[in-house]
Amino acid sequence: MVALMDQRERVAAVFDRAAETYDRVGVDLFQPIAARLVEELGPKVGERVIDIGCGRGAALLPLAAAVGPTGRAIGLDLAPQMVAATASEAAQAGLAVEVVLGDAQEPDLPIGSFDGLTSSLVLFFLPDPGAALRAWRSLLVDRGRIAVSTFASHSAAWEPVDAVFDPYLPPGMREARTSGEQGPFASDEGVELLLSDAGFTDVRTVRGSVPVRFDSAEHWYRWTMSTGQRFMWELVPEAERAAVRASASEAVEDTRRHNADGRIGFDQEVRYTFGRR
């Protein structure tokens, strides 16, 4: 139990530190993924929907817009700064959204009270994704819909960049973007099984690819500091960071020659998995 709490607290603390610039540094990744997820969920005017691990609202804000003022949209996140920033942004946008602090693993919300549930790029952070999915299922009405996105593979040409951090990762630890290399997140079937084992029916997957591009190695660095990858930097001892950044930047620059558009970056394969209570 102590270990589980450590993992949750560590993840939430990293996202808390990243919250101010999270998804706000001019890189398209979280929003196109969430937009597709929401579109496939198909929220209707007047429905009650929840977004678990809402971050800066990539899925929550379009959900709220879709259900409108007669519906109800709630976002839940364990990082207080994410909750505060998203609540304030939703208010500025004139959207009636509730953003609550809570644990995706054990959400403290009324059961059987939502028509739809989204969770974009969250499941692989949780200590027990199967238990979380069972809890999420109980939040839905009968035949209520769930839509989750997870990372699948990304361009092989980006591997030298990821490899720069390998010596600093504790044994068994995966960075979220590479979580698709093993365990339940390694295949469509693995994620589908997580949902069906949790009791969901009509489980299906669609795939998409998002081109993630950066203006420069410096832009890439700012982006890493604004996401969960910030934790990779925090694992590198301070005295080594400049050297690690220099070799990572070299590997980042090298990806230009693999991309048809000549830009720095990678293509991220994304898995969208759906089911019903």
Ligand X SMILES: C[S@@+](CC[C@H](N)C(=O)[O-])C[C@H]1O[C@@H](n2cnc3c(N)ncnc32)[C@H](O)[C@@H]1O
- Give me the least distance between CB of 122 and ligand X, in Å please: 4
Binding segment toward ligand X, per CB under 6 A, in 7-15, 137-145, 164-172, 185-193 = 7-15
Two tokens at 223?
């982006």
* Nearest residue (beta carbon) to ligand X: 55
Report residue 276: phi and psi, to 5°.
-130, 150
129 near ligand X, rule: CB under 6 A = no
Q: What SS3 state is found at 230?
A: helix
Tell me how far, at minimum, the Cβ of 256 lies from ligand X, in Å.
26
Q: Does 23 bind ligand X (CB under 6 A)?
A: yes
The residue range among 47-55, 88-96, 185-193, 245-253 that interacts with ligand X, by the rule CB under 6 A, is 47-55
Task: Write out the two tokens for 118.
Answer: 């989204």
Q: Which of residues 98-127 bind ligand X (CB under 6 A)?
A: 103-105, 120-122, 125-126
CA distance 119 to 198: 15
Name which of 7 and 196 has its Cβ closer to ligand X.
Answer: 7
Question: Nearest distance from residue 52's CB to ligand X, in Å?
Answer: 7
Quick one: which of 56, 270, 223 has its CA closest to 232? 223
215-274 residues near ligand X, rule: CB under 6 A: 228
Q: Which is nearer to ligand X, 206 or 259 (CB)?
A: 206
152: Cβ contacts below 8 Å, ≥ 6 apart: 180, 207, 269, 270, 271
Task: Give the relative orientation of helices 60-67 and 80-92 as an angle to the nearest 10 degrees.
Answer: 40
Q: Which two tokens stand for residue 141?
A: 């009405």
Which parts of 77-96 interact with ligand X (CB under 6 A)? 77-79, 82
Query: Which residue's CB is nearer to ligand X, number 119 or number 205?
Result: 119
Output b/e per residue, 35-69; b: 16+ Cβ within 10 A: ebbbebbebeeebbbbbbbbbbbbbbbbbbbbbee
Instruction: Rule CB under 6 A: say whether 55 interacts with ligand X.
Output: yes
How many amino acids of this chain bind ligand X (CB under 6 A)?
25
CB 276 within 8 A of CB 201: yes
Which residues contact ligand X (rule: CB under 6 A)? 8, 11-12, 15, 23, 30, 34, 53-55, 58-59, 77-79, 82, 103-105, 120-122, 125-126, 228
